[in-house]
Amino acid sequence: MRNFLKKITHPFLKLGYEIYYHKPRTFCYDSICIQVHPDVFPPQLTISTKILLDFISEKELENKSFLELGCGSGIISLFATKKGAKVTASDINTTALDFLSENALKNNLQLNSVESDLFQSINEPTFDCIIINPPYYPKKPKNIKEQAWFCGEHFEYFEALFPQLKSYIIATNETYMILSEDCELEKIKAIASKSGIAFSMVVEKKVVGEKNYIFSLTSL
C-alpha cells in the first residue's frame, strides 16, 4: 500500500496526472464513449474499472436489477444498461452524476442515477447484482475528488458500508467488490466479518505487476 501511495503522491507523477487530466477526457468501452471530468475517478488511467467491465461482459444481465454503488464515471453502469440490466448508479460526487446523465443521453442509454452516501438514498430493498469498486487507501480525503481513492484514516468508508450492505446481500443475488494486493485486504475482510459478510475470490488478475481481485460477498 505504501508503495502505491508513494506512486500516486510522487511529485512528477502527480504533475503528469494533473497536466493530462486538467480537462475532461474521453474513455470508450464496447462502443460506449464517455467524457470523464477531472474530479471523477479516471477509468482511462486505472485498472480496476476495466477489470470489472471485462468481468460483467461475461454475465447474463438481461432484465436484472443492477446497482453500481459509487459509480464514478458510470461506464460500468452504462455497459450494464447496454446489456439489458435495469441499472441504478449512485455516488456522492454530483459532478460524476451530472456527467453520467449527459453521457447516458449521448449514448442513447437510460438508467437511474442517484446522489447517495452509501445506501442512504437507495430506495430498493435489494438488487440482483451489486458492484462496488471502493476507495481503499487509509487516508482522510481532503475533497470530493479524493473520496474516490481514500477510505478515511481508520477505514471509515468500510466501517459504514458493511453494516448497511448486509441487508442487501440475500441468497439469490450477487455482490462483487474489487480490491488489490496494494490495499489492506485482511483489515477490510475483518471489518466485513463484523457485519457477517464473507469474501470469496472469483477473479485474480495481475496487471502492470499488481494483483487485482474480484471478491464475491456473501452472508456468513
Ligand X SMILES: C[S@@+](CC[C@H](N)C(=O)[O-])C[C@H]1O[C@@H](n2cnc3c(N)ncnc32)[C@H](O)[C@@H]1O
Asked if 135 is part of the footprint of ligand X (rule: CB under 6 A), the reply reads yes
- Residue 166 DSSP one-character state: G
Please identify which residue in 32, 49, 78, 175 interacts with ligand X, judged by CB under 6 A: 49
Strands (E), the chain: 25-29, 32-36, 65-69, 86-91, 112-115, 129-132, 174-180, 197-207, 210-219
Query: Per-residue x/- marks for ligand X, 94-133, CB under 6 A?
Result: --x--------------------xx--------------x
Asked if 138 is part of the footprint of ligand X (rule: CB under 6 A), the reply reads no
For 146, other C-beta atoms within 10 Å of its C-beta total 14
Please identify which residue in 81, 113, 147, 180 interacts with ligand X, judged by CB under 6 A: 147
Residues 6+ apart with CB under 8 A from 45: 17, 20, 21
Question: Rounded to 5 degrees, what angle do the CA atoms 58, 78, 161 make?
Answer: 85
Choices 21-29, 66-74, 80-88, 200-208 (CB under 6 A): range interacting with ligand X: 66-74
Asked if 180 is part of the footprint of ligand X (rule: CB under 6 A), the reply reads no
Choices 44-52, 162-170, 190-198, 200-208 (CB under 6 A): range interacting with ligand X: 44-52
Residues 6+ apart with CB under 8 A from 156: none
Asked if 33 is part of the footprint of ligand X (rule: CB under 6 A), the reply reads no
* Residue 170 vs residues 14, 68, 132, 133: alpha-carbon distances, Å: 42, 17, 16, 20
Sites for ligand X among residues 152-171 (CB under 6 A) = 157
Asked if 91 is part of the footprint of ligand X (rule: CB under 6 A), the reply reads yes
Nearest approach, Cβ of residue 146 and ligand X (Å): 9
